[in-house]
A and B are shown apart, each in its own frame.
Chain A
Amino acid sequence: MLIEVDHLTKRFGKGSSQFIAVDDVSFEVRPGEIVGLLGPNGAGKTTTIHMILGLISPTAGEVRIFGKPFDAHRQEILEQMNFTSPYVAFPVRLTVFENLMVFARMYDLREPRVKIAGLAKLFGIEAMLRKPVSRLSSGETTRVGLCKAFMNDPKLLLLDEPTAYLDPQIAAQVKQILLDMQRERGTTILYTSHNMAEVEKMCSRIIFLSRGRVLASGTPIEVTQTILNEDRDEPALEEVFLHVAQRQANEAA
């Protein structure tokens, strides 16, 4: 297994103000899979990804990546994986090229300029390399983040809503690049998105979270059948999402 998440739990706060963001979540991701981590807002997707990255420490449970416990092998593991999210940013006064050079040095690339030029061409940001990040649109910054995420040719990519700010044409290109990477290099991708059509196209398996718990996991059709509790011939993740969001809202009320 490439990722093993074992009884992962995260509680914030103490006493009566305690909040359980992730509640005893377990799942596995096999090498070369694209797995969707789905759920309504507050389901625990981003907290789970942050725990996999070591940015938040779990209250209980363990994360193993490449067969090794994350805590004991953090640097070795992070050298082979990467992450991007449109909700994190880059230093705005630095140019796109300077930002990418910092990450190229971070991963000790031998020919950073060649790598950056290649990635800039792939994601269509060649014309922006000399611009400060402050002058980019949200969609352009998202593409810079994707360039950063591919800087070390990762075996494992964690993508938090990678197409959130992209226009449909660029989003389609990005999805194709991700599928190509998975097919040609066997890159494993753990993917969160609120775009259910995109998830159905991209992901071979889904882990559906609600209120910090795994509600269902399997192929898109299996998740559809489990959560809607009826036989279906086609996946209907949009319907599943609305069903779960409504149920979550009712429970909260």
Chain B
Amino acid sequence: MSRKGKRMKRHRIEATIMRHTYEARRNLDRILDMVYWPVLDIIVWGFFTIYLGRGAAMKPGMISFMLGAIILWGLFFAFQRDMAVGFLDELWSRNLVNLFSTPLSVSEYMTGLIAVNVLKAAVGMSAAALIAWGCYAFDIFPRLPAFLPFMLNLMLFALALGIIITGLIFRYTTKIQGLAWSFAGLLMPLSCVLYPLKSLPTLLRPVAWMLPTTHSFEGMRQVLAGGGFSQSHFAWGLALNVMYFVFAILFFRWIFEAARSRGLLVKVE
């Protein structure tokens, strides 16, 4: 798609939102994706924290660290997965030619997909947060103002990853569709979700530092420990996200044009 003279139009973004909202309503898989895993995660980890809480070695605030981390990780994982799965839905239904033979641009399509996925991630996160509040006395809502910048960073990173994975699916087709569900898991050990950065082996710490997720979870732990909002972790996360996001956009543009050139847009399945 040419980038010359393009203007984003609201109605085409709304059409993309409609398409994926209908899909979310009609497709049981999408409904399960939206609430099943966040709820299941928080239930399992909630019981685990109750068990740990009975032990004498449990440090104060540990339960909050774990439940907060599980809720935020669920947000990151769901957003990254849904970006890629939203695109996979078009491939599975062979709808790409229909969509891109209209004036719809890639930017409009991605914006619509982001809007739907923000809503879906918010539904999943709210369900998990309500269970944590009701069952495990962990109330995330008063902490939301301090958490929001870190949540924003998690979602930006998830978006960048979602764009890169979508680009890879364009190039390598549905043969690599498993990345949509598995890629976030690959980053989990290095993102310091459930433990602080200093608990990683020294060699791995610089790698973990380069992940915006690490800064979000470190920042979250600082808030929960009463240390206040960490501007440093937020700024690091944001700067890294800008870098990854620019890379993701450039990569996607390059791979999309390559897909057009190779005729993959009309063949990809």
Q: Using Cβ atoms and an 8 Å threshold, which residues of chain B touch A12? A: 262-263
Q: Using Cβ atoms and an 8 Å threshold, which residues of chain A touch B95? A: 88-91
What's the tally of chain B residues with a CB closer than 8 Å to chain A? 37
Q: Using Cβ atoms and an 8 Å threshold, which residues of chain A touch B105? A: 74-75
**Given A90-B98, A106-B15, A54 and B2 contact (CB-CB distance below 8 Å):** yes
Would you call the interface of chain A mostly helix, strand, loop, or mixed?
mixed
Q: Using Cβ atoms and an 8 Å threshold, which residues of chain A touch B101? A: 53, 55, 78, 82-83
Q: Is the CB of B2 within 8 A of A106?
A: no
Residue of A nearest to B95 (CB): A91
- Contact segment of B5-13, B34-42, B156-164, B223-231: B5-13
Q: Is the CB of A75 within 8 A of B7?
A: yes
Residue of A nearest to B260 (CB): A57
**A72 CA to B94 CA, complexed, in Å:** 27
**A183 CA to B161 CA, complexed, in Å:** 51
Q: Is the CB of A78 within 8 A of B263?
A: no
Q: Is the CB of B2 within 8 A of A74?
A: yes
Q: Using Cβ atoms and an 8 Å threshold, which residues of chain B touch A107? A: 11, 102
- Contact segment of B17-25, B134-142, B182-190: B17-25
Residue of B nearest to A132 (CB): B26
Q: Using Cβ atoms and an 8 Å threshold, which residues of chain B touch A101? A: 18
Q: Using Cβ atoms and an 8 Å threshold, which residues of chain B touch A83? A: 97, 101
Q: Using Cβ atoms and an 8 Å threshold, which residues of chain A touch B90? A: 91
Q: Is the CB of B103 within 8 A of A55?
A: no
**A211 CA to B4 CA, complexed, in Å:** 33
- Contact segment of A92-100, A115-123, A172-180, A214-222: A92-100
**A103 CA to B22 CA, complexed, in Å:** 13
Check: A131 CB closer than 8 A to any chain B CB. Answer: no
Check: B242 CB closer than 8 A to any chain A CB. Answer: no
In chain B, positions 86-102 with a C-beta closer than 8 Å to chain A are 89-90, 93-95, 97-98, 100-102
Q: Is the CB of A93 within 8 A of B103?
A: no
Check: B1 CB closer than 8 A to any chain A CB. Answer: yes
**Given A89-B94, A94-B23, A105 and B15 contact (CB-CB distance below 8 Å):** yes
**A57 CA to B104 CA, complexed, in Å:** 17
Check: B199 CB closer than 8 A to any chain A CB. Answer: no
Q: Is the CB of B2 within 8 A of A71?
A: yes
**A70 CA to B260 CA, complexed, in Å:** 14
**A123 CA to B65 CA, complexed, in Å:** 60
Q: Using Cβ atoms and an 8 Å threshold, which residues of chain A touch B263? A: 10, 12, 21, 47, 50, 56
**Residues of B near any A CB (own CB < 8 A):** 1-2, 4-7, 9, 11-12, 14-15, 18-19, 22-23, 26-27, 89-90, 93-95, 97-98, 100-105, 257, 260-263, 265-266
Could you list 9 further interchain pairs (A-B, Cβ under 8 angstroms) beyond the known A93-B26, A94-B23? A54-B100, A54-B260, A71-B4, A74-B1, A78-B101, A93-B23, A106-B104, A108-B9, A108-B12
Interchain Cβ contacts under 8 Å between A and B, 27 examples: A10-B263, A21-B263, A53-B101, A54-B260, A55-B260, A55-B266, A56-B265, A56-B266, A57-B261, A71-B4, A72-B2, A72-B4, A75-B6, A75-B103, A82-B102, A85-B97, A89-B93, A90-B95, A91-B23, A98-B18, A98-B22, A103-B15, A103-B98, A105-B18, A106-B15, A106-B103, A107-B11
